[in-house]
A and B are shown apart, each in its own frame.
Chain A
Amino acid sequence: MMNTINEMWTSHRTQISFTIMTAILLFVGFNQSWVLALGIFNLSVISSIMALGVNIQWGYAGLFNVGIMGFAALGGLSVVLISQQPVTDAIEAGGFNMLIALMLGVITVVVGVVLHNKKFNKWVVFASIFLGFFAMRYFFADASSAIEKVNPAGTGYLGGLGLPVLLSWVVGGFAAAGVAWGVGKITLGLRSDYLAIATLGISEIIIYVIKNEDWLSRGVKNVTGLPRPVPYELELQKTPWFQDWAHYFDVGLGEFSTLFVKLCYAGIFVSILIGLIIMANLALDSPWGRKVRAIRDNEVSAAAMGKNITRQHLQIFVIGSAIVGLAGAMLVTYNGLLNPTSYQPLRFTFLIWVMVIVGGSGNNLGSVIGAFIIWFLWIQAGPMGLWIAEVISNFAGEQSSIALFIEDRVHHLRLVFMGAIMLMVMRFTPGGILPEKNKEL
């Protein structure tokens, strides 16, 4: 009996695990609520995309990127910069100076690089950068304080370009890719853990910039009310055809509108996810994928076989980061707000890593299932902890000291819970739930 189950599992891992996950979500839908189930589903899909980006970097190329948070935040920032309406007052107050400052910044960098490449004395290079920096600083300080003074409680930043929000997702991907390119150029010579701490550092730097450069991102004061690619609940509730539908399905108007909006998002997210997975799988299952895996296996030997390791790593780093950036933009759009304080390594970097590993690194579908499981736990560990507390207090009596103690600490039980389940999943599926075929454990 055990054996047949085992065999079934080994031969049909993918089908079985996706079926189980669907069943769990359906269960949530029927027993708790469909809004919740869909909410979990949507976030899981976004996380899947992020995990996919990481999987491409780690699973394909062994690049240990612990800066996921930074790239996701760049995606988020792009949403603000592209799709928010411009704040005309602020632009009048400091937009011009800011433009000059930014241009000076760019010129300084370009001049620095050119001088360096032309092998000028390093002091000359240094002096020119120094001068450029102070010139920039001069305009910059004026501009930023002028911008931030414009209605600080309401705006206090430049706003965005007012373009369609879907465009901002693409831009988010490109922004992350651009930064990844620069970062990769500098740090990809580093190995494993050293690369990890470098990327971690860079992601922190990105977050600090977003948090502290108020003129750009409103800093910690958050940007809210971001535009959506789907209709607003409150407007839906007012349209007659929608009311008819709600009536037809016999669902409360509020709930139905929420469901509807979430379904629209789900449609967009899932199509993006499927598109990415198809592309990723095609690539992996080709000479390109073979080259990439060979490099991961043994760099010295791959170099001796004529493969340019650095270039390959850079390509993969950029692509993976772009996907993370895209997911970051999707997330911010979905939440309707950019909240820089919420970018915490635990949530945006390590949680995603756990998804990749639990799902099975190197396997794209693995990242998806990993994302679903871990996100589900992240959300449902709390209720599970509460439920356990309830069981205990039923068992030991409502007022017993142990029940009171647990009751008091129940919210910390979720941490224990989350950890324990994670450990269990990893323990019983070494190599992940859907391991890469032919993979070393």
Chain B
Amino acid sequence: GSLQGYTGPLESLIGDIHDGTVLAASEANASGQYAHGTINVPEGDSKCIDADAAIAEAERLINDGVIGLVGPNCSGVTTAVINNVTAANGVVNISPSATSPALSTIEDNGFFFRTAPSDARQGQVLAAIAMGRGITSVAVTYTNNDYGKGLADAFVGSYEALGGTVTVNSGHEEGKADYSADVASLSAGGSSVLAVFGYADGGALSLTTASVDTGAFDSYIFADGMIGSGPALGGLDGLSGSWGTAPGGSTAAASWASVTAAAGITPGPYSGEAYDAMALIILASQASTDRGDIQAAMMAIGNAPGVSISAGQIGFGLHLLSEGIEIDYDGATGVEFNDVGEVKGSFLEYDVVGTAWSSIKTHR
């Protein structure tokens, strides 16, 4: 099953995530190696911010007999779904994009996994790079939800520990009509660098655009939510000198690029994670579609030892599994779970060159 925020504030990101899941499922189907016939992926709409609707949808999907759930996306409803549905019903629930640090410690009975790394780690990475680049004072704006706030907390914590100054640290709401007030008060702190922790086509983009237009900051720091495919922030000019990080940089990335190229889609934020999430469920259910067994198999399949499987090799992986050979799924993002079922993740550092992203370095 696929439970995503098709409508609601994240609706515009979901297209890419959806593509990722579909790609994995169709690859498995095309290989003909799946032991239980064709894979069907019923879809549910989590609305991203409507916990009641998300729970109802999750219940519906589970009663439709899905063997596992990919999703939801937003950390808030993810928590609701884990608490109310998946943990209680013993269904594996693997989110491609919920990055809130709080999810690491949730009581999930071992049924919750995620292929997106926790933000706690990214905050440290960003802070270290910033200090390394000699940036000693920044203003921070984050999208006012658990993702943005969590990431900002992590970043500010490590940055200040490293000796940096945060002049202003404030949240912005999604989907508002105007962000010039945010820009005005952020710029008044006097720092010339702004760290933007938000969504590439949400409020953060509007905010960054307004900021660039008024010349409020010289350069910007972006976190994963802001870095996608295509030109940087829709081709906004005036970003040169800015940089950011996003999960990636594993050896697996090349395989993902060729998979998407072959399928003719442009990968977007979290689409690789979504692909991996779906692939993991498929692989883990090769032996048995019992929900409990799937959970038991997840860790073994995601982690070493075993034959490394990268994106585009789902069929091969299925084949190996049916032969009884152990695999280590790396997929599109180099999946490796820690003991609470989260990927550790590595991060790629990007520079904005002209209007394009250019990756320069990997941080593990």
Q: Write the residues of chain A forming the contact surface with B, with a CB cutoff of 8 angstroms.
A: 32-33, 35-36, 39-40, 43, 152-154, 211-212, 219-222, 224-225, 232-234, 254-255, 257-258, 331, 335-337, 339, 341-342, 344, 347, 378-379, 382-383, 386, 411-412, 414-415
Contact = CB atoms under 8 A, between A and B. Distances in A.
Contacts, number: 127
Contacts of A222: 75-76, 79, 102, 146
A335 B51 contact: yes
A339 B51 contact: yes
Given A212-B144, A221-B146, A411-B11, 8 more contacts: A33-B59, A33-B60, A39-B55, A221-B100, A335-B51, A339-B51, A344-B50, A412-B7
Interface stretch (B86-94, B212-220, B333-341): B86-94
Contact of B153 (A152, A386, A414): A152
Given A32-B63, A383-B60, A254 B102 contact: no
B80 interface: yes
Nearest to B8: A344
A33 B61 CA distance: 10
B149 A225 contact: no
Interface of B: 6-7, 11, 43-45, 49-53, 55-57, 59-60, 62-64, 74-77, 79-80, 83-84, 87-90, 100-102, 104-107, 109, 120, 144-146, 148-150, 153-154, 157, 171
A336 B11 CA distance: 25
A379 B107 CA distance: 27
Given A220-B144, A342-B51, A153 B79 contact: no
Contacts of A234: 87-88, 109
A335 B154 CA distance: 28
A254 B88 contact: yes
A132 to B, nearest CB: 26
Contacts of B102: 153-154, 221-222, 224
B142 to A, nearest CB: 9
Nearest to A252: B89
13 contacts: A33-B60, A33-B63, A35-B62, A43-B52, A153-B101, A220-B144, A233-B89, A335-B51, A342-B50, A342-B51, A347-B49, A379-B53, A415-B7
Contacts of A211: 144
Given A36-B63, A225-B83, A341-B145, A382 B50 contact: no
A281 to B, nearest CB: 28
Contacts of B60: 32-33, 36, 379, 383
Q: Which one of A43, A219, A255, A339 has the highest number of Cβ atoms from chain B below 10 Å of its Cβ?
A: A339
Contacts of B62: 35
Given A43-B56, A382-B44, A341 B49 contact: yes
A40 B83 contact: no
Contacts of B80: 335-337, 339
Nearest to A408: B15
A339 B76 contact: yes
Contacts of B145: 220, 341
Nearest to A348: B50
Contacts of B11: 411
A220 B144 CA distance: 7
B63 to A, nearest CB: 3
A205 to B, nearest CB: 13
Q: Which one of B90, B106, B148 has the highest number of Cβ atoms from chain A below 10 Å of its Cβ?
A: B90
Given A39-B56, A335-B84, A153 B50 contact: no
A382 B59 contact: no
A70 to B, nearest CB: 16
Nearest to A331: B52
Contacts of B150: 153, 221
